[in-house]
Structure 1
Amino acid sequence: MNTSERASHPSRAQIESLLEYLQRNPSLAKGFSKVPSARDATRRSWEALALQLNSLGGCVKTSKQWIKVWKLMLCLKQKTITFTEALRAHCQIQSFLLGAIQPSRSPKTTNSGTSISTAVSIL
């Protein structure tokens, strides 16, 4: 792998530092405010954070690029949660359906003479 390809990817130390900083400053993690003075304070905070993260080694990014990294992390987290929830729901539905069509001990027959367990296995 070419080292220039990975130059844009943050190091583990940078990601950990970013997460720690945003945990201590939840208002910064939520995004910009509509009030101009709050926007300026948020911009200055991101610029200070960018300097701190760039000094750790790894990639060097502007404050806007670090904001993009944070938004991408949020997006990926949400997609992972959504996928996990969908998978869990699918498994619950599947187990419910399988439980509902468990054949009884004595096979019952339909009007056509086919047993229900045979009909279910065809599905």
Structure 2
Amino acid sequence: MTTTANNVEKHFYCPYSESLDKRISLNFHVIFNPPSGQPYTVKAVKRTTGPEAQRNSALKEVKKDRLMNFYAGQWHADISEATSYHGLHHMIITIIDSRCREVDNTIFSIYISWAWEIK
């Protein structure tokens, strides 16, 4: 996962590795080493939790599908999101083969901290 805030990028390789601020861009770059040469799709489900998201009617799951591209001997896809609400949020990433079977998955749970503003 890559985060971008104020034109500065930071890379994270482990789910649950640290908390992030609100109002930053996220990119989940998925790389898959396939057991065979068929096409793959990434299905991503974002689950937002917490009272701030609830007050803003943002608890509904957001689903995105991306066809993976094959290059450099691996399958690749990107899923972009942003951090908007304080709380613990989850990105469930699943790789689906051409026969609609799940072949791999992972969950990135990310804690979004308060972004303090001085007025």
Higher helix fraction (1 or 2): 1
Shorter chain as denominator, the TM-score bin is: under 0.3
Structure with more contact order per residue of length (Cα contacts < 8 Å, sep ≥ 6): 2
TM-score, scaled to structure 2: 0.18
Greater C-alpha Rg: 1
